[in-house]
Structure 1
Amino acid sequence: MTSAVEDLRRRGVIGLGGAPLGNFARAMDDEQAARTLRRAWERGIRYFDTAPHYGLGLSERRIGAELRHRPRDEFIVSTKVGRLLVPRVPPLDQDDDGFVVPGDLERRWDFSADGVERCLRGSLERLGLDRIDILYAHDPDQAWDGAAREALASLARLKAAGIVSAIGIGTNSTAGLEPLIRAGLVDVIMLANRYSLLDHSALDAVLAPARDAGVAIVAAGVFATGLLSTDQPRPGATYEYRPADPAVIRRTELIASVCADHGVPLPAAALAFPLLHPAVAAVAIGMRSPREVDEDIERFTTEIPAGLWRDLVSAGLIPAGAVPAGPTSRSPEEPPGDAAARS
């Protein structure tokens, strides 16, 4: 086990996801981004995830502007490779891939050793840091067949050279991950939207082999892109980045009802659920403001009674295998970066 992953298990627990800081879906200014990051630090968050993809480097620049002044051994930072940023000719007025930023750059798939090294150098420059703790291959499943193994071979060379501490894959897909885990090619996987109160598809396909191999999982998208972020589904709530259909809204309402019976807000249960599994080392949450930081820390430190999970299993709303035997409640006094929150 690498030291970066050991640190993640020990103190990563809740991390700040950097896509909103790259102006995903809507813009924020630099001052709001800085205040959000400073509040996250004040509230004990010490894991920060970003990527060149997020705002064509804007997320990395904003995160780096705050972290480069912090003691380097006190935080964990991860970024991603595979989407190399190159000049767009002619430029667009705005990025065409979901981020509200100028479209003067474009993303080019490149998982070769040279491309990965160039991508990493660009990230280090934007972040203003001397090293990256965890480096993920970003969405190789979206590139081409075999991209994941090519990417991991490139990353393995960086790890062997001591340039990064831990390597893995950041993806929305469970496909093809189990063979990579069993082959010992990854230290950690950031998995978005595939292990939540509404989607359990990663339980057997990814989490079980990861547990057996000692691979850490970072669960992202635990609010299901919006549907689980409020106590009850709101009109127009999104799921998988699209308007939620009636069936998934109804399932969410049933889960919310069980949560209400136990006096637990639905978002608090959504944050706690992935961490029930021993393979999950952390959750990463996108945060847009100091207020959202405070809300998410409050949710994370909410006491979750073990009976909630038992009732969700009894109602057929989560699988029995998601809930380990023995106590699963968490004390609200435990800080967000303390591994005790997972014990």
Structure 2
Amino acid sequence: MNNIPLREIGSTGTSVTQFGLGTAPLGDLFEALDEGAAQNVLQAAWDVGVRLFDTSPFYGNGKSEHRVGHFLRQKPRDEYVLSTKVGRVFHPARDLETFDPGPFTGALPFEFTVDYSYDGIMRSYEDSLHRLSLPNVDLLVIHDLDFYFYETEARVNAYLNQLFTSGWRALDELRRYGLVKGVGAGINELGMIPRFLDLVDLDFFLVAYGYNLLTQEMLEEEFPLCEQQGISIIVGAVFASGILATGAVPGAHYFYAPASPEMMERTDRIERICKRYETPLPCAALQFLTANPIVSAIIPGALKAAHVQTNFDMLRKPVPRELWGALKSEGLLREDAPTP
């Protein structure tokens, strides 16, 4: 096993491997995986030393949790950290003929109700334990409470109010009684971190947008606020939905949508500088994230076992320091952005 550096999550006393595994692809996100391939991805992660695994009931309507649980049940419970999410309660699909799996092409035939109440969060937590067939999880994440999913101020405010007046009591109890070690929130956009911190006492944020090699907007307000309060960051969408892995190729995606001409041009400029210093773009993307001390872990997903090994190798590949200076001098990286 490789010795991946450990970093603590907030002040929880729980340390995680800096390189973790996001398991949305194991819920058949955009592409179906057979069981053998899914287990191979998990085994590849374990073999390189990954000990942080992040899943969610939303990933394949429970499929990811089933697969992750099957794998981790065979490992010593004290050797890994497991994260899952709350905010949706699942029930069997009412009509299999009209069932829509959404982006998870091989999703299990279940549908969900959005629920950030006390009962909803406790139900979601207990259902996850059953799907995982494990006695506990280490970290719980409030999932997708933002404008990306709920669109309007009225709906976001309503769910934030439900969380604050009801659901937070469940999360606080689970943490106080030692049933989970840390509580966080998933963030898909700017502006939500301050709103959460005005309401609840979190240990970390799982960030999918606003901090990557293409944009560092979270350095303006969000990250300094977290640093002041001792709150950690886990970065989810390390390749910005793909473009930082593929480069500015036709059809490249940025944040779940086709990349704009401006983002394609910016990516191309960054990649040209990376090539000047003989550094693959994904290598720069990964190492940029782990250079920030507030980032406890990155959790790239993988469709194949080979992808896990490639990402791990990219993290260890030497990168010339001059690359980071060149990106900053070209205005492609913020001057205050931490670099290796």
TM-score using structure 1 length: 0.88
* Counterpart AA for 1:264: T
Please give the per-residue CA displacement for 1:162-194, whole angstroms capped at 9, x wherever unaligned.
Answer: 211100101212323124336661001101022
How far off its partner does 1:6 sit? Answer: 4.1
**Which of 298, 304, 309 is the aligned partner of 1:283?**
298
How far off its partner does 1:64 sit? Answer: 0.6
How far off its partner does 1:243 sit? Answer: 1.8
**Which of 15, 21, 33 is the aligned partner of 1:28?**
33
Cα distance between partner residues in 1 of 2:286 and 2:262: 22
1:119 aligns with 2:154: no
Indicate how the Cα distance of structure 1 residues 166 and 206 shifts in structure 2: closer, same or farther if over 3 A, else same.
Answer: same
Indicate how the Cα distance of structure 1 residues 226 and 114 shifts in structure 2: closer, same or farther if over 3 A, else same.
Answer: same
Cα distance between partner residues in 2 of 1:153 and 1:303: 46
* Counterpart AA for 1:87: P
Cα distance between partner residues in 2 of 1:323 and 1:2: 19
Cα distance between partner residues in 2 of 1:210 and 1:321: 16
Indicate how the Cα distance of structure 1 residues 129 and 69 shifts in structure 2: closer, same or farther if over 3 A, else same.
Answer: same
* Alignment correspondent of 2:244: 228
Cα distance between partner residues in 2 of 1:206 and 1:154: 26
Instruction: Name the count of aligned residue pairs.
Output: 322
Q: Percent identical across equivalent pairs? A: 34
* Alignment correspondent of 1:247: 262
Cα distance between partner residues in 2 of 1:87 and 1:94: 10
- Assess if the C-alpha contact under 8 Å between 1:152 and 1:186 holds in 2: no
Indicate how the Cα distance of structure 1 residues 6 and 14 shifts in structure 2: closer, same or farther if over 3 A, else same.
Answer: farther
How far off its partner does 1:2 sit? Answer: 6.6
Structure 1 unaligned blocks of 5 or more: 329-343
Cα distance between partner residues in 2 of 1:164 and 1:194: 27
How far off its partner does 1:264 sit? Answer: 1.1
1:321 aligns with 2:326: no
* Alignment correspondent of 2:153: none
* Alignment correspondent of 2:87: 82
- Assess if the C-alpha contact under 8 Å between 2:190 and 2:209 holds in 1: no
* Alignment correspondent of 1:337: none
1:72 aligns with 2:77: yes
- Assess if the C-alpha contact under 8 Å between 2:83 and 2:138 holds in 1: yes
Q: Once superposed, what is the RMSD of the aligned Cα atoms?
A: 2.0
- Assess if the C-alpha contact under 8 Å between 2:84 and 2:139 holds in 1: yes
How far off its partner does 1:245 sit? Answer: 2.0
Cα distance between partner residues in 1 of 2:13 and 2:332: 32
* Counterpart AA for 1:284: I
Structure 2 unaligned blocks of 5 or more: 1-7, 151-155
Aligned to 1:90, the other structure's residue is in SS state: coil
- Assess if the C-alpha contact under 8 Å between 1:4 and 1:134 holds in 2: no
How far off its partner does 1:137 sit? Answer: 0.6
Indicate how the Cα distance of structure 1 residues 103 and 95 shifts in structure 2: closer, same or farther if over 3 A, else same.
Answer: farther
- Assess if the C-alpha contact under 8 Å between 1:17 and 1:284 holds in 2: yes
User: Please, which moves more after superposition, 95-104 or 62-71?
Assistant: 95-104
**Which of 49, 58, 63 is the aligned partner of 1:58?**
63
Cα distance between partner residues in 2 of 1:215 and 1:182: 14
Aligned to 1:316, the other structure's residue is in SS state: coil
* Counterpart AA for 1:298: D
* Counterpart AA for 2:186: G
